Amino acid sequence: MNEPVRFVGAGPGDPELITVKGMRLLEKADRVVYAGSLVPKTLLSYCAKDVLAFDSASLTLEQTHGLLRQGYEAGESVVRLHTGDPGLYGALHEQMELLDRDNIPYEVVPGVTAAFASAAAMKKVLTIPEISQTVILTRLGARTPVPGKESLETLASHRATMLIYLSVQRIEEVVGQLLTHYPADTPVMVAYRVGWPEQKFLRATLENIASRVRGEQIGRQAIILVGEVFGGGEGGKRSKLYDESFSHQYRDGRKNG
């Protein structure tokens, strides 16, 4: 019985941020189809020297599917290598539909998405008690539309931690919609090509982030991180989990208090 096609999340760029499972699947792969515009070729160093590697950057959905189907039917171990996590803005749904249509089994191996890698690289956490306990991952609508109920202006009303993908090229529009609810001095960070050798991080506020982005000529492959958690005044806000007076399954807070 032929092995299923494996969708593997490559992480944001650093080849060491791929999961152990993803790395092992690359090591045994006979065929790898990867998005060369987003996935660093250094990840292919995990593969065998005779691996069949196909860059899908210039291919259509049907052409990419054809490569996956061809490998599966030949009895090969096939990996479809995605940037970040395949389930987030990865065009995964339509690829799975075609595999279902052709009765080709598949598995999905998650990866580290740019939002989490960016926060880690900038030594920030996305949720801080009493400041934000909600994280919104979203994007501006473009050729891929966004439902009206999910506009940035609507989501901004929550004033939660917000991580905005695929939108830095329209930074002024992003700022305009966010300012309908967030204060102008809300901390903002922009992470450019996080995990790549040329990664760059900008720290600013809503009122000046657009000029910073334009000044650095960042026009793509960046994520915008917005919220009070990215400021510097969160000291003293601690999770209750490790509070000496907090009881849970493994500790009696009354005895520690």
Residue that finishes a domain, picked among 81, 109, 137: 109
Q: Is residue 119 part of a domain?
A: yes
Q: Is the pLDDT of residue 102 over 90?
A: yes
| Same-domain pairing of 145 and 193 | yes
Same domain for 49 and 156, yes or no, is no
The verdict on 105 and 136 lying in the same domain is: no
Rounded Cα–Cα distance for residues 234 and 23 (Å)? 37
Q: Is residue 236 included in any domain, yes or no? A: no
| Same domain flag for 216 and 181 | yes
Residue 244: per-residue pLDDT: 61
CATH number at residue 206: 3.30.950.10
Q: Is 241 part of a structural domain of the chain?
A: no
Average pLDDT score, the chain: 92
* Number of separate domains in the chain: 2
Question: Which of the listed residues 109, 125, 150 is the one where a domain comes to its end?
Answer: 109
Residue 155 placed within a domain: yes
Predicted local distance difference test score (pLDDT) of residue 240: 56
| Antiparallel, parallel or unpaired: β 52-55 and 31-34 | parallel
Q: Based on the domain organization, do 150 and 206 belong to the same domain? A: yes
Confidence of residue 142 (pLDDT cuts 50, 70, 90): confident
Residues spanned by the domain of 174: 114-230
Mapping DSSP to helix (H, G, I), strand (E, B) and coil, where does residue 5 land?
Answer: strand
pLDDT mean over 144-172: 94
pLDDT at 168 over 60: yes
The pLDDT of residue 28 is 98
- What is the reported pTM? 0.87
Tell me how far CA of residue 107 lies from CA of 55, 65, 204, 225, 242, in angstroms.
Answer: 20, 15, 40, 31, 37
Question: What is the arithmetic mean of pLDDT over 233-242?
Answer: 55
Of 104, 86, 72, 106, the closest CA to residue 39 belongs to: 86
- State the CATH number of the domain containing residue 79: 3.40.1010.10
State yes or no: pLDDT of 58 exceeds 60.
yes
Would you state the pLDDT for residue 245? 58
Does residue 63 lie within any of the structural domains?
Answer: yes
Instruction: Let me know whether 226 and 125 are in one domain.
Output: yes
Same-domain status, 140 and 92: no
Q: Is residue 237 part of a domain?
A: no
125 and 17 share a domain?
no
Same domain, yes or no: 172 and 208: yes
Contact at 8 Å (CB) between 5 and 31?
Answer: no
Q: Please tell me whether residues 94 and 141 are part of one structural domain.
A: no
Q: Is there a single domain that holds both residue 61 and residue 88? A: yes
In a domain, 56, yes or no: yes
With residues binned 3-state (H G I as helix, E B as strand, rest as coil), the percentages for the chain, rounded to 5, are 35, 20, 45
Question: In the chain, what percentage of residues exceed pLDDT 90?
Answer: 83
Please identify, among 77, 109, 141, the residue that sits at the C-terminal boundary of a domain. Answer: 109
Q: What is the pLDDT of residues 76-97, one digit of tens each?
A: 999 999 999 999 998 999 999 9
Answer whether residue 232 shows pLDDT above 60: yes
Q: Tell me whether residue 257 is in a domain.
A: no
